[in-house]
Amino acid sequence: MDKPGAASAAEDGGAARSARVQAVSLRKTRGRTVAQQRWLERQLNDPYVQAARKAGWRSRAAFKLIELDDRFRLIRPGMRVVDLGAAPGGWSQVAVKRGAARVVGVDLLPIEPVRGAELLQGDFNDPDLPDRLRELLGGPADLVLSDMAPNTTGHAATDHLRIIGLAELALHFAMQVLGEGGGFVAKVFQGGSEKQMLQPMKEAFGTVRHAKPPASRKDSSELYVVATGFRPDRAESFRERMALPPG
C-alpha cells in the first residue's frame, strides 16, 4: 500500500528534475555583492526552487527528504518524527504529508505554523528538551531528522569539522529520544571525517549508510547519513567511542 501523499510527492520531485527553466540574468545593482548576485541568479534558475513554490513546499530542501524517503522508506504512517533545525519548515511539511502521526520541529529561529506539526523555537541542546519532546510526541521518537548546517567560513576543512560536530550533537540528542528500531538522518559534508562518525554509529544502529539525493546541488559537498534500526542497549558503546556524556 502506498504511503499517504507518496505519489504526489514523488511526482513533485520528478517535475523538479525534468523542468526546463528559461535562464534568467539579473542586472548588477549597487549594494549587491558578486556573491549575492550569483546566489540570486542561481535561485531564479533552479528548477527545484520553482517546483517547491508550485507545490507549496517551504524550500527546495523538501525534495531532499522526499528523495531520501523514496530510497530508504524512512517515514511510515503513524510515526513520531522530530525535525531538528526545522526552519523554514519544509522537512516538517514532508513528514506530515507522508503520514507521520506526530511531528515536532525545533529551531533557534521562529517558524511559520505547519498544519499537522508542533513547532518549537529553542536550542535542541537544552537539557530539558528531550523530556519535553517525548511528552509532545506521546512517547519515544521513531525518526529524528537533521538538515542543520553551521554558517560556513569558506575554509573547507573548518566547515567540514563544524558540520560533523553539529551532526554528532544531533545524534547524541537522537539517542536520548529514539525508541528501539528508530531512524536518524543528518547532513554532513564530504571530506573524510564523516567515516569516523559512520563507523561508531554502527554500534548503535542496525544499518548505517550515506547518500547524496539528486536535489543536492552538484557543486555542493553535502551528504546525508542515514541510520536505521536503533539499538538502545548498544547506544552506550557509541557514547564511549565519541566521548559523549551518558544519555
Catalytic residue numbers read 187
Q: How far apart are CA 241 and CA 236, in angstroms?
A: 9
CA 202 vs CA 20, 32, 43: distances in Å: 41, 46, 37
Q: How far apart are CA 197 and CA 43, in angstroms?
A: 32
Asked if residue 71 lies in contact with residue 215, where contact means CB atoms within 8 angstroms, the answer is no
Type and span of the H or E element at 121: strand 117-121
From the CA atom positions of the chain, what is the Rg in Å?
Answer: 18
Bind-site residues for S-adenosyl-L-methionine: 89, 91, 107, 123, 147
Omega before 88 cis (within 30°)? yes
Joined together, the cell numbers standing for residue 223 give 551528504
Asked if residue 85 lies in contact with residue 146, where contact means CB atoms within 8 angstroms, the answer is yes
Nearest CA to 79 among 224, 186, 179, 208? 179
